[in-house]
């Protein structure tokens, strides 16, 4: 069965620092990849997604992610974080069985002023 | 509003009660899902419905019973729950075809407390 790993469980950054959150998956076939964000007390919402084409995907709020097929990775980046980026971030993969996504365990990002 | 509406937002129930969670999607999607989100645990897939048909039951105890009367509505019927079932229950919908899932839209969830 496919799996998704997010190795950073809790990340603390100062405002204006650069962010990179890791996501690795285990599946050798075609994948669709997603990053979701959950702000405190709010619902999970889509940040960005990759289906095909340019492996560098741009999402909302200045986030981007790069699909590196050879590394089975889809890391999330932002050049300069803001306090309002404090949230939990989930990587998700759709592989083989098209009807569901497999989620990572999430990374809690805390941005300090 | 996300296009996926869950009611109620909060629910407190005793272990002998029977209650139901409701989810409605206004996005024209053809798949719906129930997830359980507990503190310090990954999102747990419970049930998957494609075109109203249940296609996955992820070893969920029988005290949770899903119902999907049409492609826009999904229910989760609860009975004789345990305190460890206290969690945030999330509904999601998506558009799927033979090879792709185009991404979930989540509802705001129902915060369930079992006392």
Angle at CA of residue B34, ends A107 and A94, nearest 5°: 60
Which chain A residues contact residue B107 at CB under 8 A? Answer: 43
Chain segment B104-113, per-residue pLDDT in tens: 999 999 999 9
Is pLDDT of A102 > 80? yes
Tell me the residues of chain B between 32 and 71 that have a Cβ less than 8 Å away from chain A: 33, 41-43, 45, 48, 50, 55-56
Cβ contacts below 8 Å, chain A against chain B, sum to 60
Contact residues for B88 (Cβ-Cβ < 8 A; gap 6+) = B36, B37, B38, B109, B110, B111, B112
Q: How far apart are CA A32 and CA B107, in angstroms?
A: 21
Which chain A residues contact residue B97 at CB under 8 A? Answer: 98
DSSP label of A16: T
Q: Do B99 and A105 touch (CB under 8 A)?
A: no
Chain segment A40-83, per-residue pLDDT in tens: 988 999 999 999 899 999 999 999 999 999 999 999 999 999 99
Phi and psi, residue A105, nearest 5°:
-80, -10
pLDDT for residue A98: 64
Chain A residue with the nearest C-alpha to that of B102: A32
pLDDT for residue A63: 97
CB-nearest to A98 from B33, B100, B106 is B100
Q: Which of B36, B93, B98, B106 to probe by mutation at the A interface, max A CB count within 10 Å?
A: B106
Chain segment B39-96, per-residue pLDDT in tens: 878 899 999 998 878 888 888 999 999 999 999 999 999 999 999 999 999 999 999 8
Q: Do A100 and B107 touch (CB under 8 A)?
A: no
Pairing status of strand A24-26 against strand A10-14:
unpaired
Chain segment B10-49, per-residue pLDDT in tens: 999 999 899 999 999 999 999 999 999 998 788 999 999 9
Give the gap in angstroms from C-alpha B31 to the nearest C-alpha of chain A: 7
Asked if B30 is an interface residue toward chain A (Cβ–Cβ < 8 A), one would say no
pLDDT for residue B92: 96
Is pLDDT of B101 > 80? yes
Q: Do A100 and B42 touch (CB under 8 A)?
A: no
pLDDT for residue A28: 75
Asked if B101 is an interface residue toward chain A (Cβ–Cβ < 8 A), one would say yes
pLDDT for residue A1: 65
Q: Do A98 and B101 touch (CB under 8 A)?
A: yes
């Amino acid at each position: 069965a496919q799996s998704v790993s997010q190795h950073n469980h809790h990340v603390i950054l100062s405002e204006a620092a650069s962010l990179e959150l890791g996501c690795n998956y285990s599946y050798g076939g075609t994948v669709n990849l997603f990053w979701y964000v959950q702000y405190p007390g709010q619902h999970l919402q889509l940040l960005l997604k990759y289906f095909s084409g340019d492996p560098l995907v741009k999402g909302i709020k200045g986030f981007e992610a790069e699909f590196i097929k050879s590394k089975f990775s889809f890391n999330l980046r932002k050049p300069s974080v803001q306090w309002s980026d404090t949230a939990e971030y989930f990587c998700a993969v759709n592989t083989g069985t098209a009807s569901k996504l497999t989620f990572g365990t999430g990374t809690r990002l805390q941005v300090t002023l | 509003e996300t296009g996926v509406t869950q009611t109620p937002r909060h629910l407190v129930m005793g272990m002998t009660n029977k209650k139901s969670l409701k989810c409605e999607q206004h996005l024209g999607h053809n798949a719906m899902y129930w997830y359980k989100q507990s503190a310090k645990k990954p999102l747990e897939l419970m049930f998957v419905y494609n075109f109203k048909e249940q296609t996955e039951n992820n070893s969920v105890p029988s005290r949770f019973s899903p119902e999907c009367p049409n492609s826009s509505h999904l229910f989760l019927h609860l009975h004789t729950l345990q305190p460890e079932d206290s969690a945030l229950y999330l509904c999601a919908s998506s558009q799927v075809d033979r090879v792709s899932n185009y991404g979930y839209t989540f509802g705001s969830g129902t915060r369930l407390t079992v006392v």
